[in-house]
Amino acid sequence: MKKAALAILIILAATSCKFLEFRSGDKVVAEVGGKKLYESEIKSLIPPGKSPQDSIMMLQQYINNWALKHLLLEKAENELSKTDKDVEQELEDYRTSLLMYRFEKMFIDQRLDTLITEQECRDYYEKNSPNFVLDNSVVKARFAKISNNSPNLEKLRRGYKASSIEDIDEFERLCYSSADKYNNFGNEWTDIAMIAREVPYDVQTLEREIRSSSAVEVKDSLYTYLVYFHEKILPDQIAPFEYYLPGIKQIILSKRKQELISTLEQNLIREALDNNHLKTNINK
């Protein structure tokens, strides 16, 4: 398939370009401003199974993009002023930033302690608990979406507010066989915005609903949506430790990285001064 598409493309290119050349047997498929695109450079672009027509369209798009890059560069070279074309400082600044970033990353990767205990996280949580006030409710919930034509709809409506382990298990088994979608969100604390994505309610409407009830049932022309909130913490309250645990770990890791970089920078300055490698002339 690839060979057929390439052959067709090359024939098309040959009809519009009189200067196709060979590079050790490699065919030129496009040329602009003295720049040449060779068959060997585009062979891998066509996924297996593509029709010749689709393959040609993909290759033509690639050639157009390739040509456009060179045409824009050509225009820039011809029409920009000498000052605008002077990018040496920008390139040097980029090279400097890139090398610094790569060295700092290597330095951190070699020294960063990634082991974070739960106690460290709890200590951080308790020390900074005023920062963990919720904007949205967080909940533990289970959700089911059932076709209005399902023969088990009424059974699910009766069972979605179950509280005993046995009844919850029975409800889940019925959901797996009858519901179009079921989710218990891993029995973990979840932002209510995640629940709102599953039902025909926005976050504000769902917030109002759960203030007065732990169960929400809503219906549209095709489906019935059942949500039961077996635990909830409303906005302006402090979120539970478990909800913020992943984020706290990232915060602690980030602080450790910043401490490593700060230590590196201080040591570099001190060593350079001690070795007279860094000299300053500041009047005090």
Q: What are the tens digits of pLDDT across the range 186-201? A: 999 999 999 999 999 9
**Window from 23-32, 59-68, 105-114, 136-145 with minimum mean pLDDT:** 23-32
Q: What percent of the chain has pLDDT over 70?
A: 90
Q: Which two tokens stand for residue 150?
A: 């399902």
Residue 134: is it exposed, middle or buried by C-beta count within 10 angstroms (0-12/13-18/19+)? middle
How many Cβ atoms sit within 10 Å of the Cβ of residue 9?
Answer: 23
Q: Which residues does 128 contact at the CB level (< 8 Å), separation at least 6?
A: none
Task: Give the global pTM.
Answer: 0.70
> Looking up tokens 């949205």, which residue turns up?
136
Closest CA to 153 of 222, 91, 206, 56: 222
CB 9 within 8 A of CB 59: yes
Cα 50 to Cα 5: distance, rounded to the nearest angstrom? 9
Cα 261 to Cα 107: distance, rounded to the nearest angstrom? 8
Q: Flag whether pLDDT at 164 surpasses 90.
A: yes
Cα 231 to Cα 218: distance, rounded to the nearest angstrom? 20
Answer with the residue of higher pLDDT: 192 or 24. Answer: 192
What rounded mean pLDDT belongs to the chain?
Answer: 89
Q: Which two tokens stand for residue 103?
A: 């060295």
Residue type, 99: L
Average pLDDT over residues 132-148: 96
Answer with the residue of higher pLDDT: 252 or 24. Answer: 252
Q: Which two tokens stand for residue 206?
A: 């769902």
Residue type, 66: W
What local confidence, expressed as pLDDT, does residue 208 receive? 94
Q: What angle do CA 123, 128, 134 make, to 5 degrees?
A: 120
What are 104-126's pLDDT values in tens digits? 999 999 999 999 999 999 999 99
In which band, very low, low, confident or very high, does the pLDDT at 6 lie, cut at 50, 70 and 90?
low
Answer with the residue of higher pLDDT: 30 or 14. Answer: 30
Average pLDDT over residues 76-94: 94
CB 232 within 8 A of CB 138: yes
CB 207 within 8 A of CB 235: yes
Strands 22-23 and 181-183: unpaired
Q: What percent of the chain has pLDDT over 90?
A: 78
Average pLDDT over residues 272-281: 90
